Amino acid sequence: MVCRHYQELDAFVQEAKKKTGEGKVADYIPALAESGQDSLSVTIYHAENTCLTAGDADRTFTLQSISKVLSLALVLMDYGKEKVFSCVGQEPTGDPFNSMIKLETVNPGKPLNPMINAGALVVTSLIKGHSPKDRLNYLLGFIRRLANNQEITYCRHVAESEFSSSMINRAMCYYMKQYGIFKGDVEEVMDLYTKQCAIKMSSLDLAKIGCVFALDGKHPETGEQVIKKDVARICKTFMVTCGMYNASGEFAIKVGIPAKSGVSGGIMGISPYNFGIGIFGPALDEKGNSIAGVKLLEIMSEKYRLSYFLKHFLS
């Protein structure tokens, strides 16, 4: 699929790019620090299989927290809402994505939602398979179907970098294990979680996955119902309430679409007009969201009236 370069979008990218200097590339996962500070690119994938792009869109990047919404979709389909929500809650935290404070103060041991690290670790521990290899292949197979791209795999370098530096995530697993919420083997789940976060793709792949969500789980190219309708709805709702970490409220006001970000600088957005948006801009703001990526979405939302909360969209 060849994406058309779109001049108007390019102008928005140039405008948003001015923000990159105010941000900082994540370095708590050492391998992520190797990304260039000032890059920004976007791809839009529409249900009619048309595609627009701007910026350096050929680059690939790791999903990091964007993967949380994909693993959630998979386990919700496998286990159903009741089981999944008995292990993880449905409320935003107002705290940073890697905070563990509410694990102790609210419903001890049960994470508040699946978009924070504690919740995502529980979700990953539920992924089905007879062996660690099986579980990884099962997740990868699902993500390849979402993007309709069999080439997608994880970046070993980034996965190993996070695996060897992820002590807070390990601590949260053990904490939740004490309360019987987390049942897996901590090292095995950490291995799968870090590989999951290191799954690598282009902004085109990401936009296409966004489009699957925009179409309530149906794939624009294959026509396959890859995600059950009800599960797609739940995932989109989590993206609105918790997808941009503890900036989700402000983002809902400024942009108003379901979106999920990752500390690599990726953002997946879902437009009400049947298209998905894939963004990559590694410089992050203080909450861990792509600083220029958020600015770009603000510009696009205003220009194209993308907010789900506009009356015209409801009528």
Q: How many Å apart are CA 16 and CA 274, to the nearest integer? A: 24
| Nearest C-alpha neighbor of 172 from the set 146, 190, 154, 199 | 190
Would you say 263 and 68 are in contact if contact means Cβ atoms under 8 Å apart?
no
Range 167-186, binding ligand GLN (CB under 6 A): 169
DSSP E strands in 100-191: the ranges are 153-154
As measured in angstroms, the least distance from the Cβ of 104 to ligand GLN is 19
- Answer for which of 111, 262, 278, 293 binds ligand GLN (CB under 6 A) is 262
Determine whether the annotation assigns residue 169 to a binding site: yes
| Nearest C-alpha neighbor of 99 from the set 122, 115, 85, 81 | 115
Would you say 257 and 297 are in contact if contact means Cβ atoms under 8 Å apart?
yes
68 catalytic residue (yes or no): yes
Distances (CA, A) of 176 to 119, 162, 182, 187, 313: 10, 20, 5, 14, 41
97 lies in the binding site for ligand GLN (CB under 6 A) = yes
- Answer for which of 64, 124, 203, 271 binds ligand GLN (CB under 6 A) is 64
- Answer for which of 98, 153, 241, 274 binds ligand GLN (CB under 6 A) is 98
Beta-bridge mates of residue 53: 5, 43
| Residues belonging to the chain | 315
208 catalytic residue (yes or no): no
Instruction: Annotate each residue in 23-62 with x if it binds ligand GLN (CB under 6 A) or - if it does not, as one string.
Output: ----------------------------------------
65 catalytic residue (yes or no): yes
275 lies in the binding site for ligand GLN (CB under 6 A) = no
Q: Which of 68, 102, 195, 295 is catalytic?
A: 68
Between residues 60 and 98, which has the closer beta carbon with respect to ligand GLN? 98
Sequence-distant (≥ 6) Cβ neighbours of residue 21 within 8 angstroms: 37, 38, 283
Between residues 73 and 199, which has the closer beta carbon with respect to ligand GLN? 199
Token pair recorded at residue 164: 């060897």
As measured in angstroms, the least distance from the Cβ of 142 to ligand GLN is 18
Instruction: Note the residues at the interface with ligand GLN (CB under 6 A).
Output: 64-65, 97-98, 117, 162, 169, 197, 262-263, 288
* Catalytic annotation, residues: 65, 68, 193, 245, 263
